[in-house]
Amino acid sequence: MAKAIWEGRECDVRVDSDLESNWSVSILSGEFDPVSLIQRPAAPVIIKVRAKTRWLALDQGLRSLKAQGRISDFTLEPRPAEEIAAEQAEKAKKKGGKVEEEAEA
């Protein structure tokens, strides 16, 4: 589970898929909106990113928010081994395809 430090508080992070490789990374404060008549959560900090996987979107979004100064720090679980293996297999497949095309030419 990812956590972000926003205004001195540790906050939860949510990642939602929009369309295909578009993602929305939200930092949820856990606070309530002080001006609302009904008790509803305060507006989160949100950033939209493009990434192939959920973990990559989370990593990119948190790094971008930290670089912009909107959050002070974050913690993130290591990237899942299955995701790393799938990416390496995809790279090997693409590299193998290019070698075959050059051999045919």
Delimit the domains of the chain by residue range: 3-79
Stated pTM of the model: 0.73
Q: What is the mean pLDDT of residues 60-68?
A: 94
Tokens representing 32 are 């309530």
pLDDT tens-digit map of 87-96: 888 888 877 7
- Stretch 3-16: mean pLDDT: 88
What's the pLDDT at 98? 55
DSSP string, 21-56: TEEEEEEE---B-TT-SS--BPPPEEEEEE-SSHHH
For the chain, give the mean pLDDT: 82
pLDDT digits (tens, 9 = 90+) for 24-51: 999 887 777 667 677 666 778 889 999 9
- pLDDT at position 59 is 94
